[in-house]
Amino acid sequence: MTVAAPRAGRKLSVGGVLAAVTVVLGVLAPLIGGRPWRRGPGVSELSRELASGRPLVDAITLAEWIRDRKPLAILDVRDSSAFVQFSVPTARNVPFEELRTQPIDSSRTLVLYDANGDAAVRGWLLLRRLGHPHARILERGVLGWIDGVLQPVLPAGTPDERARYQRVAAVSRYFGGLPTIGPARPDSSTAAKQAVRLLSRRGCY
Amino acid sequence: MSAPLFELGAFGESTSLIIALIIGVAFGWFLEQGGMGNARKLAGQFYLTDLTVFKIMFSAVITAMLGLFWLHRAGVLELSLVYVPPTWILPQVLGGFVFGVGFVMGGLCPGTSCVAISTGRKDGLALLAGMFAGILAFGELFALLRRVYEATPAGTLTLPQLTGISYPVVVALVAVVGVAAFRLAEWIEQRGT
């Protein structure tokens, strides 16, 4: 049996084919590739933003915003079973997995929350990187709402403390809460700090 | 858009670690197949007798670049969510220098030293021990090094941002330059033999 030897001039090496495909895909990019670079801030900018604490909103401030009818979109990023059991008033349930696909009105201030703040931070990162400018995170999530609005415990020894207590108590009662005078709970907001640590990691090559 | 899978919540942290392990093993296997577990082959890069490292790096860069670009174009991947490591100029220049000295002396980089160990090479083991000693020393001295470590942050930099050239044109230029550089590398290798 004889096998016809390929003519030298027609022989195509694997490397040659790959090089040709690379050049074709590269040259086609500016011709039919469009302009895909739709980009929000980078991770280091977001890390600094998160470390500054600016994206966080405490439960009392959020409660005042809701009471005062500020244009808000409050997004509960927990799953629907947790949302049915308890949710922050006026919140809409958009589980984390659906954040990317749900239509979100970015002209309103977005406030994200979850059980304790972790998934909300991830959701905030996602929305900010997709270019939503006004996104905030409810500090400590549902726990923050319960501790801060529904069952606030605040000292009222000094005039400043009394003024703060009056402010919190008024909002708390508006939402059916039970404000109490007592020693303040320690602040245990860690979700944002953890997220900053996560973002501060440097790549490993 | 359904990717990046982790960023869009397709799986959690623990699953991501399992996936990382699988990808890591595959990466190591391909490096070994490419001869990257061999310190002599890697050292050839510095003497311009064997440019396999250069060719592997360029192939990886171009494959990833074209893959990301066209997957985004096809609506599979959201490019703005892909993690781009931020730049710190001074610590990365210093780190690159230390890395380079270690690479020339040992003939292996951290990844390829693991690959070398998998085939029983003792030099890989020595380098891995050195790497962990370095990590330990860095960790212990971090308080002293912190000012350098955090100096000159430049944020997330990309070629389109730095040059002002549009992203698809950068893709085309890198692809063409990459193929040309690949050919040049082969020419240098043939000339040497």
Q: Break chain A into its structural domains and give their ranges.
A: 14-137, 145-202
Please tell me the predicted confidence (pLDDT) of residue A62: 94
Inform me whether the pLDDT recorded for B29 exceeds 90.
Answer: yes
* Residue B38 identity: N
Please tell me the predicted confidence (pLDDT) of residue B157: 84
Please tell me the predicted confidence (pLDDT) of residue B175: 94
* Residue A119 identity: A
A87 backbone φψ class: left, alpha, beta (φ>0; ψ -120 to 50):
beta
- Per-residue pLDDT tens digits for B69-87: 999 888 788 777 788 888 8
Task: List, in order, residues 6 or more apart from B3 with CB less than 8 Å away.
Answer: B71, B76, B77, B78
Residue B115 maps to a domain: yes
Average model confidence (pLDDT) across chain B: 88
Please tell me the predicted confidence (pLDDT) of residue B153: 83
Q: Is A126 on the interface with B (CB under 8 A)?
A: yes
Ordered DSSP codes for B86-142: -EEHHHHHHHHHHHHHHHHHHS--HHHHHHHHHTT-HHHHHHHHHHHHHHHHHHHTH
Residue B133's domain spans which residues? 84-157
Confidence band, pLDDT 50/70/90 cuts, at residue A192: low
**Would you call A27 and B176 a contact, using CB atoms and an 8 Å cutoff?**
yes
Q: How, if at all, do strands B87-88 and A109-113 pair?
A: unpaired
* Residue B121 identity: R
Whether the predicted interface score ipTM is above 0.85: no
Inform me whether the pLDDT recorded for A105 exceeds 80.
Answer: no
Best of B66, B71, B98 to disrupt the A interface (most A CBs within 10 Å) is B66
- Per-residue pLDDT tens digits for A7-25: 545 567 888 898 899 999 9
Can you say whether the dihedral through the CA atoms of B162, B163, B169, B173 is positive or negative?
A: negative
**Would you call A36 and B69 a contact, using CB atoms and an 8 Å cutoff?**
yes
CA separation for the pair A171, A177 (Å, rounded):
8
Residue B40 maps to a domain: no
Q: Please, are residues B123 and B106 in contact by the beta-carbon 8 Å criterion?
A: yes
Average pLDDT over residues A80-92: 90
Residue A64 buriedness (CB in 10 A; 0-12 / 13-18 / 19+): middle
- Per-residue pLDDT tens digits for A120-168: 888 888 888 777 778 899 998 898 899 889 988 888 888 888 888 999 9
Residue B170 maps to a domain: no
Four-way CATH pick for A14-137: 3.10.450.240, 3.40.50.11030, 3.30.429.10, 3.40.250.10: 3.40.250.10
Q: Is A100 on the interface with B (CB under 8 A)?
A: yes
Inform me whether the pLDDT recorded for A85 exceeds 70.
Answer: yes
Q: Please, are residues B156 and A42 in contact by the beta-carbon 8 Å criterion?
A: yes
Return the residue matching tokens 């090559």.
A205
Q: Retrieve residue B119's tokens.
A: 């085939």
Residue B96 maps to a domain: yes
Average model confidence (pLDDT) across chain A: 80
**Would you call B171 and A23 a contact, using CB atoms and an 8 Å cutoff?**
no
CA separation for the pair B82, A43 (Å, rounded):
10
Q: Is B166 on the interface with A (CB under 8 A)?
A: yes
**Would you call A37 and B86 a contact, using CB atoms and an 8 Å cutoff?**
no
Chain A residues closer than 8 Å to B68 by CB: none
Inform me whether the pLDDT recorded for A190 exceeds 60.
Answer: no
Residue B63 maps to a domain: no
**Would you call A26 and B70 a contact, using CB atoms and an 8 Å cutoff?**
no
Phi, psi values for residue A74, rounded to 5°: -95, 120
Average pLDDT over residues B28-38: 90
Q: How, if at all, do strands A72-76 and A92-93 pair?
A: parallel
